[in-house]
Amino acid sequence: MNNRKKVSDTKIVKSVNKNVRSSTRKLKPILKSIVGKKVDLAIRDLSFSDKRISKDVKKTISSAIANAENNYQYDIDKLIVKEAYCGKQVVMKRFRPRAKGRAAPIIKPYSNLTIILTEKTKQKESHGTKS
């Protein structure tokens, strides 16, 4: 049984931001909200988001759009966000002085941010019935 969909030569466009100053826990909800949307809607949603990190996500999407337009001559109006995910990068560790000679750790995590765009094409899918 072969249930894999055949990928017709649609090139994926990728943009990676390797130093995002945020934890993956804070990035994931923002990325989940933009997956599957058209790029102009995703950028609009990120513009009105009150999260600090949404500016960096918007910048990465804009970079992916520029890659699509420049490298593959894609139409910007047909681009959608196929995947958006993040991974851990380095963690800077700092210490804050506290009372009685103690120290409290401060953890400053960094993340990788990857956004993959694809061009949405209208295609007919044939649904076969089992007999």
User: Average pLDDT for consecutive 10-residue bins of the chain (131 residues)?
Assistant: 53 88 92 91 92 91 90 86 91 96 96 90 59 51
- Structure token pair of residue 9: 């030569």
Residue in 43, 124, 31, 32 with CA at minimum distance from that of residue 77: 43
Residue 105 has what pLDDT? 96
pLDDT at 13: 86
What is the topology classification, in CATH, of domain 14-86+113-119? Ribosomal Protein L22; Chain A (3.90.470)
State the DSSP code for 40: H
- What is the pLDDT, as a whole number, of residue 2? 53
Tell me what pLDDT residue 76 has: 87
Question: Considering just the CA atoms, what is the radius of gyration of the chain in Å?
Answer: 20
Query: Can you give the pLDDT at residue 126?
Result: 52
**Which residues fall within 8 angstroms of residue 75, CB to CB, at 6 or more apart?**
119
pTM beyond 0.75? yes
